[in-house]
Chains A and B, each alone.
Chain A
């Protein structure tokens, strides 16, 4: 029962066309079919354009001059493409530092998620041990807990972390993990959902292979790391991408636990920049483009793996 909660029956095979059922149909039926396909194509094209319009608008705005933004009759395309907006935005706020921080955070989270998550997923899917069932149940339970229900106590744990940031053994006197990489990376190192995802990937691997390896005298860790895990390489990539995405796009947690500019991540950076640059939308959109484009590119390149993960998650 509970084992199959967040997944869908249909898995996530690359989406392919059904189509061409009535190849034997008469020529008039084929004509009708072609006409409906043209119609469908038209609808999809219009909808896709509407869905992409905000991004196009962002992109166009990031090249406009401020005077143009003030014009009542603003032309659809920028009258001149002003690349300097990006330089000015980089000048106005250290977006390069923000982007570097976000990149480190996202890569850190992807690494911890893959290492810690795969170990746990494998142990839950493939190894027989007494607590395996209850622990899997625990993960399913914690899957239901929204971040907003734990954020305040988690903030206290970070703030009162003993022996860090000038805190004594009781966590008093200093600032703990506030404004450190620890606070950014450790609490988000792994999520129950990614453990669950890993377990699902490992369930599909052949148990006979494990048994054969045991007979050959391969150690348990070797079986996990060198024999079974290579079989779920696409799954590793899926989890790494989802964790990277969560890290790059994360906002509230970095906002709460960092205050220095050196540790500011890009989503917090553009949000702060917005408060400082109130009406300079051309610079704001240049900054936003820098915050959005890396994820968009990554998604387009690795689309299939993302889709795989999103379809099993259903939640961002």
Chain B
């Protein structure tokens, strides 16, 4: 094919080729270079995304332990998953983290964005500090929180509680407090990016709306509720969907903080996939779990594209 013959084509075109027909020559050359330039990235995504998805689909109907060859088992893996209490536990934990954590961090992010948009002194420093948790590696972040949630009296979380006269908590050592502790970390880490997206959208709002509201004598709360919030609806929807997608891919945090425990109280779907595949070597079952995760996230993304496509037609 062309790929093999042209990578070292001379940068200048022979004049003869330029002379013959404007429509065909350059157009053909353009098309050829389009293919050549796109080929590496395209082939890469084919090998590392396309083929793996197909292989995962195929393996999800087999039993495979990496020692003996895969054995076709039909829908057994999927049937197993639906009756697997642990998988549902993981799903439930993901949902708890999403349903409780995302609205809280979105609300905090929105308020912070509005405040930062006022242009008070030092706002760029504030913005940096609020965003830091997002750029820092989740493993590092998780280790810090591991120490903050130390069950001893001098873990920072317990120091803070004692300040309010509340007894020290076991945090990550207790099934009742472990998930709330994880939730706190996800909220803390999730605020920065949401704030940034809100801030970018706020800057796109026209000042005239606010000026008109000023003339009408609307107070700051009124302006926030009647102008800012409705105008930010597309951004809110975008933040919501990307947050849910990111939430379903929480892994590093759980791996470092809790290993899904205690008593599976903090396990999530990605952690179950990891456990099933790389600890138990039940590759067929694990790929079936990953296919379910894929279906959930693809459905969410398609839904969001439909809805956003509908609301953004201005």
Residues of A within 8 A of B (CB): 1-2, 4-6, 8-13, 15-22, 36-37, 40-41, 43-45, 47-49, 51-55, 57-58, 61, 69, 71-72, 74, 116-117, 119-120, 122-124, 127-132, 135, 138-139, 142, 144-157, 187, 189-190, 192, 195, 214, 217-222, 224, 245, 248-249, 251-252, 256, 267-268, 270-271, 274, 281, 284-285, 288, 291-292, 295-296, 299-300, 303, 306-307, 310-311, 314-316
- 9 CB contacts below 8 A, A to B, read A36-B220, A43-B115, A54-B141, A69-B154, A190-B44, A192-B45, A220-B33, A292-B141, A295-B136
- Contact in complex: A128, B42 (CB < 8 Å): no
B40: min CB distance to chain A, Å: 5
Q: Which of B31-58 contact A (CB under 8 A)?
A: 31-38, 40-42, 44-45, 47-53, 55-56
Residue of A nearest to B270 (CB): A148
B36: min CB distance to chain A, Å: 8
| CB of B133 closer than 8 Å to a CB of A | yes
- Contact in complex: B130, A48 (CB < 8 Å): yes
Which of B4-12, B73-81, B84-92, B170-178 lies on the face that meets chain A? B4-12
| CB of B179 closer than 8 Å to a CB of A | no
A44 contact set on B, CB distance < 8 A: 112, 115-116, 120, 122-123, 126
The 8 Å CB contact of B200, one of A15, A19, A45, is: A15
- Contact in complex: A72, B53 (CB < 8 Å): no
- Contact in complex: B147, A48 (CB < 8 Å): no
- Contact in complex: A252, B252 (CB < 8 Å): yes
A291 to B278, CA, bound (A): 25
Other contacts beyond A2-B309, A44-B116, A153-B52: 19, CB < 8 A: A4-B312, A8-B200, A8-B201, A8-B234, A9-B234, A10-B235, A16-B203, A17-B119, A21-B211, A53-B156, A54-B145, A54-B156, A128-B31, A128-B34, A148-B273, A189-B44, A219-B11, A281-B150, A307-B196
Main secondary structure of the interface of B (DSSP, over half): helix
A281 contact set on B, CB distance < 8 A: 147, 150
A240 to B108, CA, bound (A): 30
B216: min CB distance to chain A, Å: 14
- Contact in complex: B18, A74 (CB < 8 Å): no
Residue of B nearest to A12 (CB): B200
- Contact in complex: A123, B33 (CB < 8 Å): yes
- Contact in complex: B143, A284 (CB < 8 Å): yes
| CB of B26 closer than 8 Å to a CB of A | yes
B137 contact set on A, CB distance < 8 A: 248-249, 251, 267, 291-292, 295
A151: min CB distance to chain B, Å: 7
Q: Which of B139-181 contact A (CB under 8 A)?
A: 139-141, 143-148, 150, 153-154, 156
A213: min CB distance to chain B, Å: 11
Residue of B nearest to A72 (CB): B153
B199-233 interface bits toward A, Cβ cutoff 8 Å, 1 = contact, 0 = none: 11111100100110010000010000000000000
The 8 Å CB contact of A222, one of B11, B41, B48, B301, is: B11
Beyond A123-B38, A130-B31, A149-B290, whether A306 also contacts B140 by CB under 8 A is no
- Contact in complex: A148, B34 (CB < 8 Å): no
| CB of B129 closer than 8 Å to a CB of A | yes
Question: What are the 10 tightest A-B residue pairs by CB atom distance, in nearest-first order?
Answer: A17-B119, A129-B34, A10-B204, A153-B52, A120-B41, A219-B11, A150-B52, A127-B34, A249-B137, A129-B31
A284 contact set on B, CB distance < 8 A: 143, 147
Beyond A267-B140, A284-B143, A303-B128, whether A146 also contacts B45 by CB under 8 A is no
- Contact in complex: B49, A311 (CB < 8 Å): no
B113: min CB distance to chain A, Å: 9
Beyond A122-B37, A152-B286, whether A48 also contacts B129 by CB under 8 A is yes
A58 contact set on B, CB distance < 8 A: 144, 147
- Contact in complex: B126, A124 (CB < 8 Å): no
Q: Which of B229-285 contact A (CB under 8 A)?
A: 234-235, 238-239, 242, 245-246, 248-249, 251-252, 255-256, 269-270, 273-274, 277-278, 283
